[in-house]
Amino acid sequence: MKLKIQFIVIALTSLLFNGCSGQEEQIAGWSFEKNRKTETLESVNNKYTPVESFKQNLELVPGISGKGLRTDGYSTFISTTFPEELSVPLSTEAWFALETYPTDTAGFFSFEKDDNNWISANIDQFGELMLSVCTNGEKTWFPSSSQIKKFEWFKIALSITENEARLLVNGEKTAVAPVSDSHGKYSSLLIGRDSRQKKIHIFPINYINGIIDEVKVWNKALTENDFNTNEIKQTARQEPDLSVPEIRFKDDFNRPEYHILPAANWTNETHGLIYYKGRYHIFNQKNGTNVYLGRINWGHYSSPDLVQWTEHRPVLTPEKGYDQFGIWSGHAVIDENGEPVIMYTGGDGNEFGMCLAFPKDDHLIEWDKYGRNPVVQGPPDNFERIDFRDPYLWKENDTWYMIIGFGLVEKGVEKGTVLLYKSKDMKNWEFLHPLYKGNPSVDDTGMFWEMPVFWKLNDKYILLINPTPHDGKPAVAVYWTGKFENERFVPDHKMPKRLEVINRMLSPSVSLDEDGRTTAIAIIPDLIPAEMQMQQGWTHLYSIPRTWDLVDGYIHQKPHPNLKKLRLEEKNFNEQKITPTENISISKGKHQLEIIARITPVDCKQFGFIIGKNEENGEETKIFFDMEKDEMVVDLTKSSQNKWIEKKVEKGDYKVVPNKEIEIHLFIDGSVVEGFINGKDGFTTRIFPEYKSSNEVELFAAGGSLKVSEMQMWELKSSDNKTNF
pLDDT of residue 177: 97
Q: Residues 231-279: pLDDT tens digits?
A: 999 999 999 999 999 999 999 999 999 999 999 999 999 999 999 999 9
pLDDT of residue 11: 33
Indicate the pTM of the whole model: 0.94
Backbone angles phi, psi at 365, to 5 degrees: -80, -40
Per-residue pLDDT at 21 exceeds 50? no
Per-residue pLDDT at 91 exceeds 70? yes
Reduced to 3 states, what is the DSSP secondary structure of residue 317?
coil
pLDDT of residue 557: 98
pLDDT of residue 384: 85
Contacts of residue 243, defined as CB under 8 A and 6 or more positions apart, other chains included, come to 263, 723, 724, 725
pLDDT of residue 5: 34
Pairing of strands 310-316, 722-723: parallel
Q: Where are the beta strands (DSSP E) in 261-334?
A: 265-276, 279-287, 297-303, 310-316, 326-334
Per-residue pLDDT at 6 exceeds 60? no
H or E segment and range at residue 40: strand 39-42
Terminal CA-CA length for the chain: 28
Cβ contact 259:542 at 8 Å: yes
Q: Residues 103-144: pLDDT tens digits?
A: 899 999 999 999 999 999 999 999 999 999 999 999 999 999
d(CA 586, CA 712): 9
d(CA 228, CA 171): 7
Cβ contact 602:706 at 8 Å: yes
| Secondary structure, 3-state, 540-569 | CEECCCEEEEEECCEEEEEECHHHHHHEEE
Mean confidence (pLDDT) of the chain: 94
d(CA 598, CA 82): 69
Per-residue pLDDT at 3 exceeds 50? no
Contacts of residue 429, defined as CB under 8 A and 6 or more positions apart, other chains included, come to 354, 375, 376, 402, 421, 422, 423
Instruction: Output the DSSP codes for 593-619.
Output: EEEEEEEEESS-SEEEEEEEEETTTTE
pLDDT of residue 87: 92
Cβ contact 377:317 at 8 Å: no
Percentage above 70 pLDDT, the chain: 97
The mean pLDDT value for 455-471 works out to 96
The mean pLDDT value for 48-63 works out to 94
Q: Residues 618-652: pLDDT tens digits?
A: 999 999 999 999 999 999 999 999 999 999 999 99
Burial category of 43 from C-beta neighbours within 10 Å (exposed 0-12, middle 13-18, buried 19 and up): middle
H or E segment and range at residue 685: strand 681-686
pLDDT of residue 472: 86
Per-residue pLDDT at 16 exceeds 60? no
Contacts of residue 411, defined as CB under 8 A and 6 or more positions apart, other chains included, come to none
If pLDDT is split at 50, 70 and 90, which confidence band does 12 have? very low
pLDDT of residue 157: 98
Distance set, CA 308 to CA 278, 302, 399, 690 (Å):
14, 9, 35, 28
H or E segment and range at residue 232: helix 229-236
The mean pLDDT value for 504-514 works out to 96
pLDDT of residue 182: 65
Backbone angles phi, psi at 170, to 5 degrees: 50, 35
Q: Residues 395-419: pLDDT tens digits?
A: 999 999 999 999 999 999 999 999 9
If pLDDT is split at 50, 70 and 90, which confidence band does 319 have? very high
More confident residue, 15 or 467: 467
Strand partners, 413: 410
